[in-house]
Amino acid sequence: MAIETKVGVYLCSGCGIGESINCEQLSQVASKECKVPVSKVSPWLCSEENVEMIRKDIENEKLNRVVIGGCSSRFLSDVFKFNENVLVDRISLREQVAWAHKPNDEDTQMLAEDYLRMSIAKVRNSEPPVPFEKNINETVLVVGSGIAGLTSALAAADAGNSVVLTEKEDKLGGWLNKFYKVAPTHYPYLEPELPEVDNLIAKVESNEKIKVIKSCLIEKISGEPGNFNVTLKINNLQMEDLTVGVIIQATGAKPYDPNKLGDLGYGKFDNVITSIQLEEYFKNGSSDQKAINGKPVKSIAFLQCAGSRDEKHLPYCSSDCCSNSLKQALYIREKFPDALIYIIYRDMRTPAQHELFYKRVQNEDNVFFTKGDVVGINKGGNGSMLIDIDNTLLGNKIQIESDVVVLANGMVPSTLVGKIESGNNEPAEEGKTLDGKKAAASAEAGAKILNLTYRQGTDLPTLKYGFPDSHYICFPYETRRTGIYAAGSVRGPMDITSCKTDAYGAALKAIQVIYNAKQGKAVHPRSGDQSYPEFFLQRCTQCKRCTEECPFGTLDEDVKGTPLPNLTRCRRCGICLGACPERIISFKDYSINMISSMIKSIEIPDEDEEKPRMLAFLCENDAYPSLDIAGRNHFQYNPNIRVIPVRCLGSVNTVWIADALSRGFDGILLIGCKYGDDYQCHFIKGSELANKRMENVQEKLKQLVLEPERVKLITLSIDEYEKIPQIFNEFAEEIDEVGPNPYKGM
């Protein structure tokens, strides 16, 4: 049974609000028109005394909804927090009304009154979220045991969690096992160091909280954060089932296939080797003191960027190869002190303290650095190689003769299959193969490592070049699968120190997921949100829009197409709510009804009053905060636009647009995050989906015989807040030219 709502309205006249708006008149709108039982104005609402007054009113008047009109909700969020059964809404009277519009003006007052009506409608049509309760397993599954996997496992165990560490090989350590030494990781950054892999393996294997399973592949993972059901295949035959709470994928990177580097002589000449082959030579301690690959070493050339930063191969920098060649140059200095060492580079990239190491190697005898592009590599006399180099620092071509050539070949993530290697740099569309065919409920387009039983594919979706993606500015650790983190060089090319830092980050993020799931709370970007989507499935038509559009794979579906929510996977973006044509998905505090009632509460002046009304849906992640920042800068803009914050532009259901147009709004603006390759959408696909839905909106406009200019979608990042006045003013001018909505007053 729905609980009766009792709303208290508290308006602040401080911070210049009272000098711009008639707060007493505003209060009368609350008490007389909206009939709220308590409506008060205070000159300093955030004072201890006034907050205490609100607390007492809540208790004495049995208020269960509170509307605060004052500063933006981005300020003093802890001050205006009351008990969990009291729903609070904040109106930005300061940033979005008083500071952004002409003081004591009729339009400014009307704007404030509409925002008050909208807020009261909002709290009356929503409920405090009741968190779901689930039994949550706290075990961390780490897949892959290279430096990132070992470090993540130890970090999670040190934090008190049980850990299961799986490794596909019969030995822990990954690629690092092949390394003789690593580039320096400690001050003074001058000497190569022995890899600490054996030490880390010993720590992991002796840690009581860590269960190690080798020769193990993941056969299947189903479930959700807090309850992932994992089936392991061990020694290629024995199956083992376990339940874990979160997953860290630390499956690393692999060297770029040198067979694709035939133009640099690999595969044609046996004294052209890769840096990992040279590493193994030193690691294995060859008994031949004079030869590498059977050849005497009087000279050796390292070719940097072999396959990296090259549109024909890997367009990105592989990050670690320069430091690696510097380190290997020192191996040569030690073992073949008379050998001439050439390092042929396009740019030496030795970030941070690696620069100290670079300087130290520059000062070594017999080490020659040559900037240029390798344009040819051929056999010379005595079995040596002749390397032709163009675009050198002096501008002329040179030729270097060398006994051995080492290709510093780049790295590709273990999640990459058949993309860059096929010569196609475009990422495969999620759930599709590279040629655009629908993958059979799998990530045929990517590597099968986790074998998730998710409707949207078996593995972490990746961006270009096969790296699992994340919001590159705000959430660099995140993947599109809640509770599954990528750590180390699977996530991007990185050196050993960065892999370790990354592993700690992933372990901490993974543990946060467990604790949030225990309390029914969302993780980023709506961290702590306890609302979740509820589906009124009796009216579901199994259209599959929600299951297809959820960017986080939250919704599986039954054979008929009915959504099967996995709530701890959910990020609470509301994109499913925006997608559902039947309007049967809602959150306790965010629903079709809530926004519709806000739209209905806005007063639409008659046409002859010549006061147009426009509605703007602003994404709460970048666009809505931008509006506050614009207000704080006292930027002035058109007062005839009413703004509704939304969880994501993808959560805008087109019914709201249709409703608003039939109510007589003259224009509708949607402002959200940027989409495309370098997307900034906090829910990955939300603003892109909203843009796709604009086609239906334009269809609707045609049916209503309304001009296409009346609905417009714009993307904005938070640092573009200075564009807000221009966007609002230009839209208002465009609508002015189009003229009033003919449905006004109908």
Q: Is the peptide bond before 427 cis (omega within 30 degrees of 0)?
A: no
Question: Do β-strands 163-166 and 210-213 pair in parallel, antiparallel, or remain unpaired?
Answer: parallel
What does the H/E/C string look like for 68-98? EEECCCCCCCCCCCCCCCCEEEEEECHHHHH
When the beta carbons of 330 and 580 are compared against ligand SF4, the nearer one is 580
Which residue from 388, 534, 582, 720 is in contact with ligand SF4, where contact means CB under 6 A? 582
Contact pick of 207, 542, 633, 729 for ligand SF4 (by CB under 6 A):
542
Q: How far is the CB of 353 from ligand SF4 (least distance, A)?
A: 41
570 binds ligand SF4 (CB under 6 A): yes
Q: Does 543 bind ligand SF4 (CB under 6 A)?
A: yes
For residue 404 the two structure tokens come to: 């051995």
> Residue 561 class from Cβ within 10 Å (0-12 exposed, 13-18 middle, 19+ buried)?
middle
Residues 650, 702 contacting (CB under 8 angstroms): no
- By the rule CB under 6 A, 619 interacts with ligand SF4: no
Q: Whose Cβ is closer to ligand SF4: residue 413's or residue 553's?
A: 553
Distance from C-alpha of 370 to C-alpha of 390, rounded to nearest angstrom: 10
Task: By CB under 6 A, tell whether 310 contacts ligand SF4.
Answer: no
From candidates 278, 576, 598, 671, binder to ligand SF4 by CB under 6 A: 576
**Whole-angstrom distance, CA of residue 366 vs CA of residue 346:** 20
* Cβ atoms within 10 Å, residue 135: 8
Q: Evaluate whether 267 touches 259 at the Cβ level (below 8 Å).
A: yes
How far apart (Å, rounded) are the C-alpha atoms in residues 306 and 633?
A: 50
Q: Using CB under 6 A, which of 225, 493, 533, 672 touches ligand SF4? A: 533
Closer to ligand SF4 by Cβ: residue 190 or 543: 543
Residue from the set 197, 579, 616, 713 that interacts with ligand SF4 by CB under 6 A: 579
C-alpha 231/C-alpha 233 separation (Å) is 7
Chosen residue from 94, 260, 524, 572 binding ligand SF4 by CB under 6 A: 572
Among 65, 295, 571, 710, binds ligand SF4 (CB under 6 A): 571
The region of 212-220, 387-395, 465-473, 539-547 touching ligand SF4 under the rule CB under 6 A is: 539-547
Q: Which is nearer to ligand SF4, 579 or 641 (CB)?
A: 579
Is 614 a binding residue for ligand SF4 by CB under 6 A? The answer is: no
Q: From CA 466, how far away is CA 442, in angstroms rounded?
A: 16
DSSP 644-689: EEES-GGG--HHHHHHHHHHT-SEEEEEE---STT---TTSSHHHH
Question: Which position among 573, 615, 619, 657 is part of the footprint of ligand SF4 (CB under 6 A)?
Answer: 573
Q: Closer to ligand SF4 by CB, 369 or 535: give it.
A: 535
Q: Are 122 and 128 in contact (CB under 8 A)?
A: no
Under the binding rule (CB under 6 A), the answer on residue 574 touching ligand SF4 is yes
By CB under 6 A, is residue 672 in contact with ligand SF4? no
Options 65, 122, 521, 545; binder of ligand SF4; rule CB under 6 A: 545
Sketch the per residue contact string, 435 through 464, with ligand SF4: x for CB under 6 A, - otherwise: ------------------------------
480 or 642: whose CB is closer to ligand SF4?
Answer: 480
Sign, Cα dihedral of 126, 128, 129, 133: negative
Cβ distance to ligand SF4 smaller for residue 375 or 543: 543
Nearer to ligand SF4, 201 or 540 (CB): 540
Q: Where do the DSSP E strands lie in 236-298?
A: 238-244, 246-249, 253-255, 272-274, 291-292, 295-296
Determine, following the binding rule CB under 6 A, whether residue 513 of this chain makes contact with ligand SF4: no
Pair of tokens at residue 278:
């040279």
* Binding of residue 696 to ligand SF4 (CB under 6 A): no
In 363-432, the DSSP E strands lie at 367-371, 373-379, 385-390, 398-402, 404-409, 411-413
Q: Read off the amino acid at residue 126.
A: S
619 membership: H or E segment, kind and range: strand 614-619
Q: What is the DSSP letter of 347?
A: S
Closest CA to 87 of 590, 622, 482, 514: 590
Using CB under 6 A as the binding rule, whether residue 548 contacts ligand SF4 is answered as no
Residue closer to ligand SF4 (CB basis): 344 or 523:
523
Nearer Cβ to ligand SF4 (545/710): 545
* CB-nearer residue toward ligand SF4: 146 or 468: 468
Strand partners, 373: 390
Sheet containing strand 340-345, edge to edge, reads 272-274, 404-409, 299-306, 340-345, 367-371
Could you tell me which stretch among 16-24, 34-42, 68-76, 577-585 binds ligand SF4 (CB under 6 A)?
A: 577-585
Tokens found for residue 637? 């803009």
The region, left, alpha or beta by phi > 0 then psi within -120 to 50, assigned to residue 121 is alpha
For ligand SF4, give the closer residue by CB, 194 or 543: 543
Choose, by CB under 6 A, the member of 238, 541, 593, 696 that binds ligand SF4: 541
**Dihedral (CA of 111, 117, 119, 122) sign:** negative
Q: CB nearer to ligand SF4: give 399 or 541.
A: 541
Q: Determine the size of the site formed for ligand SF4 (CB under 6 A).
A: 26
Q: For residue 357, how far is the Cα from the chain centroid?
A: 34
Under the binding rule (CB under 6 A), the answer on residue 616 touching ligand SF4 is no
For the bound state, the minimum distance from the C-beta of residue 136 to ligand SF4, rounded and expressed in Å, comes to 18
Alpha-carbon span 422 to 260, nearest angstrom: 11
Burial status of residue 557 (CB atoms within 10 A of its CB: 0-12, 13-18, 19 or more): middle
CB nearer to ligand SF4: give 63 or 592: 592
* Of 3 and 560, CB closest to ligand SF4: 560
Least CB distance from residue 456 to ligand SF4, whole Å? Answer: 10
Q: Where are the alpha helices (DSSP H) in 306-371?
A: 321-335, 354-362
Q: Among 585, 657, 671, 684, which residue sits at the site for ligand SF4 (rule: CB under 6 A)?
A: 585
Cis preceding-peptide flag for 639 (omega within 30 of 0): no
Based on the shown chain and the rule CB under 6 A, indicate whether residue 681 belongs to the binding site for ligand SF4: no
Minimum CB separation of residue 614 from ligand SF4 in Å reads 28
Q: Which stretch binds ligand SF4 (CB under 6 A): 94-102, 366-374, 434-442, 580-588?
A: 580-588
Instruction: Select the span of 86-94, 360-368, 424-432, 532-540 touching ligand SF4 (CB under 6 A).
Output: 532-540
User: Which C-beta is closer to ligand SF4: that of 555 or that of 618?
Assistant: 555
- Say which residues have a Cβ less than 8 Å from residue 440's Cβ, sequence separation at least 6: none
Dig out the tokens for 188 from the structure. 């003074």
In whole angstroms, the minimum distance from the beta carbon of 480 to ligand SF4 comes to: 10
User: Closest CB to ligand SF4 among 138 and 582?
Assistant: 582
If one asks whether residue 534 binds ligand SF4 (CB under 6 A), the answer comes out as: no
Please tell me the distance from the alpha carbon of residue 579 to that of residue 294, in angstroms, as a whole number.
65
Please tell me whether residue 575 binds ligand SF4 under the rule CB under 6 A.
yes
Q: 729 in helix, strand or coil?
A: helix
State which residue, 14 or 672, has the beta carbon closest to ligand SF4.
672
Task: Give min distance, CB of 470 to ligand SF4, in A.
Answer: 16
Strand partners, 399: 388
* 517 in contact with ligand SF4 (CB under 6 A): no
Single residue of 387, 555, 592, 594 touching ligand SF4 by CB under 6 A: 555
Q: Does 563 bind ligand SF4 (CB under 6 A)?
A: yes
- Mark out the alpha helices in 209-320 (DSSP H runs): 275-283
Position 360: which residue type?
Answer: R
Q: Locate the DSSP E strands across 559-640.
A: 563-565, 585-586, 614-619
Contact with ligand SF4 (CB under 6 A) among 96, 299, 323, 554: 554
State the residues that interact with ligand SF4 by CB under 6 A: 533, 535, 540-546, 550, 552, 554-555, 563, 570-576, 579-580, 582, 584-585
